[in-house]
Structure 1
């Protein structure tokens, strides 16, 4: 066996399937993709009754993602991937390199897009709760707390910021394609399987118990239900 073959065998032996994303993160990610798509389609085709329900689903998902970002598994926690300006700029300066190492979880620059998307989703959802439909049939559940004029203004803001959200989503998709084609890093596969190939000595994910997710899910559902009644109960 040549020395080259030996180095290849050692390199292969040093790699393993590393767990990156837990089940709750993956479930929330793809559920949000579907729910936002339904919100877009129902809003575009004036199916406002279903638009409201899909909006509730989006709010539940993003609230759960915020909650899981505080108490969830290691790679899902904001404390483990949200970085300061210097770290973001340092990472951005390496984007032109094709051989950069694969970040275990969100990288510093990707975290900015994630936080921006979550903030926009939450803002759009909250605006929708107060929005007033032009015929008054499918207004938001909290529209009774604002005047008709204010509700219509909030409805326009709801649409405006949703359009901005679509642009940020497009930027996110462009980044995924860029990493796949240029940097040869598949970001979609791990979000489906939860695993990626990497050095065996890299830190593995530290899972949070699923009962913690279940408790948060019940709490978020209770809050969404209370909102749907306009807090009249």
Structure 2
């Protein structure tokens, strides 16, 4: 009973970093700051990769295995919630767990489309655009905008759910994501947390992957060296 350490620092940093970067991506895209937009997109890529790794290497409340449940568990949770007898869950409940997975999936799709996308004039393109045809890059650019609107809808639903829990269920979900701790009125099982070396390993792998993608995903040291040393193409060169 009392306050329990619920969310570890990596989970909370990921959550709030996504909030900040999502707004920054929207602003940079709307204002034509393409280079900044691509840089932020690569940071978002690193975050998504990190969260996937942390879903296997992190503590008990961060691991996918603790909150990704089948349809039956989700339906049972919804029925119990309607009847006011939902059990106390330390971490994400079955529905919240799928909300996390949908968010990660949409973010991964959005970033992936941005990596191969190009604008209609083929002036600006993602770092992996050279792997696809002009038509594919053009279609990816259009889909990139569509998925962003879907993400906006998802964010709106997420905020609505947080407000519902706050004002209807009297359950503040924001404070634990800030402090890492949550008060429970009954005895619950204490979560376990991962050692620091797993966090450092996950960060290193995610950063290395994002850096590799930023170089155009070279498959040899020579290609990586050339990509690192090559100056960015001008708008005219990109168009040609």
TM over 0.5: yes
Of 111, 131, 137, 1:125 maps to 111
Give the whole-Å Cα distance in 2 for the aligned partners of 1:221 and 1:183.
Answer: 39
Residue-by-residue CA offset, 1:177-216 (whole Å, 9 max, x unaligned): 1101111101000000000111463111201011111111
In the alignment, what sits opposite 2:70?
84
- Give me the whole-angstrom Cα distance separating, in 1, the residues matched to 2:39 and 2:123: 14
The equivalent residue for 1:225 is: 211
Contact 2:77 2:86 in 1 (8 A): no
Contact 1:131 1:158 in 2 (8 A): yes
- The equivalent residue for 1:116 is 102
CA contact (8 A) 1:42 1:50 kept: yes
Query: How much is the aligned-residue C-alpha RMSD, in angstroms?
Result: 1.5
Does 1:23 find its partner at 2:9? yes
Give secondary structure in 1 for the equivalent of 2:61: helix
- In 2, Cα distance between equivalents of 1:202 and 1:188: 20
Q: Is the Cα–Cα contact under 8 Å of residues 131 and 155 in structure 1 kept in the other structure?
A: yes
In terms of mean alpha carbon deviation, does 135-144 or 206-215 score higher? 135-144
Stretch of structure 1 that moved more, 27-36 or 97-106? 97-106
**Deviation >4 Å, runs of 4+:** 97-102
Structure 1 residue runs without a partner (length 5+): 1-14
| Residue pair 1:180, 1:186 contacting (<8 A) in 2 also | yes
Match of 1:4 in 2: none
- Please, what TM-score do these two structures have when normalized by structure 1? 0.89
Correspondence for 1:37: 23
Paired residues in the alignment total 219
Q: For residues 81-119 of structure 1, what are the alpha-carbon distances to aligned partners after superposition, in whole Å with 9 as ceiling and x for unaligned? A: 111111100111234356745421111111111111110
1:71 counterpart = 2:64: no
Classify the secondary structure of the residue corresponding to 1:104: coil
